[in-house]
Structure 1
């Protein structure tokens, strides 16, 4: 497996996962408990951009790098779960050392 694209994908996954955590645990409480809907508007837009970029990275890894299709399915699923990308990153980190 090509290691450099995997490193880039792991970095993108961590960015996307972090943006989800910031959206869920910081921006949404600011909106609903403190009446600041701007927080969700800003963080939501950033997260949306990172999510689309992450999906493009999944497509790149699937079709260009040709990693197993199961990894692509898992990558999509963990994008919707808080802390999911962090757990998936641990699995991918083991692939880098092989």
Structure 2
């Protein structure tokens, strides 16, 4: 479960940064909303999956509610998912 959550968190973080630094400037500075619609839809899907996986990983990592809240908060802070991965998921042993 944790390796899947790591992948989702990275994809969610990348999609969020793409929205903030690529598609939003394209939308408002160059009047090109199409990339924002596509990336925005993907980001919304990844965001929801991130939330679900955070709740699924909570018992496996034995997080308390405060840690879960921090992990969830990281999904709305730029670069937060990358920090969360390093701090709370750490290295996962390969099977």
TM-score normalised according to structure 2 size: 0.85
For structure 1, the 5+ residue unaligned runs are: none
- 1:17-48 CA-partner distances (Å, limit 9, x unpaired): 11100111111010011100111111110100
Gaps of 5+ in 2: none
Structure 2 residue matching 1:35: 3-state secondary structure = coil
| Runs of 4+ off more than 4 Å | none
Measure, in 2, the Cα distance between the counterparts of 1:67 and 1:10.
Answer: 16
Aligned ranges 1:6-85 → 2 under 5 Å? 6-63=2-59, 65=60, 67-69=62-64, 70-85=66-81
